[in-house]
Amino acid sequence: MASKADEGTDGALPLYRRFPRLTRIPRVALGAFPTPVQPLASIAPGMWIKRDDLCAEPLGGNKARALEFLLARVQPGDRVVTVGAAGSTHALAVATYAARLGATAEVARWRQVMNPMASRVAARMPAFAELAPVFHTVAGAYAWAWMRRLRGATWIPAGGSTPLGILGHVNAGLELVDQLRAGELPMPQSVVLPLGTGGTMAGLVLAFAIAHVPIRVVGARVVPTIVGRLGRVQRLASATARLIERTSGARVPRPSPPAMAIDDRYYGGAYGRETIDARDAAAAMRAANGVVLDSTYSAKAFALARARANRETVLFWLTFDSRTLSTR
């Protein structure tokens, strides 16, 4: 059972050092921080990786950071409900950590292009959650989930991208700032990560604005533009800033438009569709340090990061944990 973090505890988190009153917001400790930064000099001289795949047990990656806040009020015997695509790592993370807290997860999914890794994620889901049939449309999955919400299940939005969940990603960005100031890596011109529902990107750009660090966050879009767009990221960052202000009483700066960008060159035209560039990038990463990337998110972002590393110092933010693919 994970422990609860209440007011006055876990003050070592960078988020709490900046805003001590945020300890009033319930949080359940799922992760182990900070996650390491490592050079990828064999790929490009100015390239680094943030190993957020190592942030939690049994599954790391960016979802665990958000779930520390989104699952904080869940008790044994509760039910939680979420939605995602058929091979959603978010849905698997929700189900995994709900079970760890003694709760039951109910998951509604919709169809996607099923690359081999997405299929392996989908195959793991029945061991952790009560599943609806895979719906033909997103609307069908949301309608099913809404009925479970009406019956009292705790709602966890797709991707965990709400201001409450994004607090975990603000903490991640401030964690990186601490590592920069400790000299663990050089200052990157850009941080590159996958852009799905936008929560991780919103949290990082807000953290860098809070710390007055001139890093540009570049999202490799892996979803349709109706979801993966700058306006959504900006709104999420602003809403999270307002949450911090209401709770802490402190003034929180907003990210400027030049602090973020979206690149869709590696998208492939459909969520989950594997691309040649992403496949090549994943092979290069595995050869360099044994890290496995997924075809839906991290391989596409790494393809972009590798291309940018030819002209600038780049930090690739690894949001995927290959233990997701384990059959255990």
The token duo for 234 is 């900006």
Q: How does DSSP assign 133-185, residue by residue?
A: PPBSSHHHHHHHHHHHHHTTPEEE-GGG-SHHHHHHHHHHHHHHHHHHHTTSS
Separation between Cα atoms, residue 293 and residue 307, nearest integer Å: 16
Give the tens place of pLDDT for each residue, 63-78.
999 999 999 999 999 9
Q: What are phi and psi of 211, to 5 degrees?
A: -90, 0
Give the tens place of pLDDT for each residue, 93-142.
999 999 999 999 999 999 999 999 899 999 999 888 999 999 999 999 99
320: left (phi over 0), alpha (psi -120 to 50) or beta: beta
Profile the chain (328 residues) by mean pLDDT over runs of 10 residues: 42 91 97 96 95 94 97 97 96 96 97 93 91 95 97 96 98 98 98 98 98 98 96 98 98 96 97 96 94 96 96 97 70
Q: What is the pTM of this model?
A: 0.95
User: Angle, to 10 degrees, between the axis of helix 163-181 and the axis of helix 62-70?
Assistant: 130
Non-local CB neighbours of 70 within 8 Å, separated by 6+ positions? 156, 160, 162, 164, 165
**What domains are there in the chain, each with its CATH number?**
3-62+161-325 (3.40.50.1100), 65-159 (3.40.50.1100)
Neighbours of 26 (CB within 10 A): 16
Q: Looking at residue 207, what DSSP letter applies?
A: H
Give the tens place of pLDDT for each residue, 234-254.
999 999 999 999 999 999 999
Find the angle CA(240)-CA(314)-CA(270) to the nearest 5 degrees: 70
* Strand boundaries in the chain, DSSP class E: 3-5, 27-29, 37-39, 47-50, 79-85, 104-110, 129-131, 154-156, 190-195, 216-221, 260-263, 314-317
Q: Looking at residue 40, what DSSP letter applies?
A: -
